[in-house]
Amino acid sequence: MHFIELLLDYFIHETSCRNDYEFIQAVIRLFLKIHGETVRCHTQLQAKAKELLEVHSPTWQRIDKMFRSTRCMVSFFSNPQF
């Protein structure tokens, strides 16, 4: 359980530093697939997972906003009347 907590700390750190976002997301997905039930059953790990979510949400919202802006520009420039 200690190593799972350390991994969650690592994910929190990397997400907050915005390092290798795609890689970290893939590793988090695999980690939760394997250890999700363990995290769910231990309150200490739940607290770490909540902290990860709190760090992850603003980062994802920023990326989603960039995706929406890009889609809007592509739609605008692909308009045949332009």
Average pLDDT over residues 29-57: 95
Residue 57 pLDDT: 86
Q: Where are the domains of the chain?
A: 1-76
**Distance from C-alpha of 61 to C-alpha of 38, rounded to nearest angstrom:** 28
Rounded CA separation 75/50 (Å): 37
Average pLDDT, the chain: 91
The end-to-end CA distance of the chain, in Å, is 58
Residue 64 — very low, low, confident or very high, per pLDDT cuts 50/70/90?
Answer: confident
In which residue are the tokens 């520009």 written?
Answer: 73
| CA separation for the pair 61, 55 (Å, rounded) | 11
Helix, strand, coil percentages, rounded to 5, for the chain? 90, 0, 10
Choose between 21 and 9: higher pLDDT. 9
pLDDT for 61 beyond 90: no
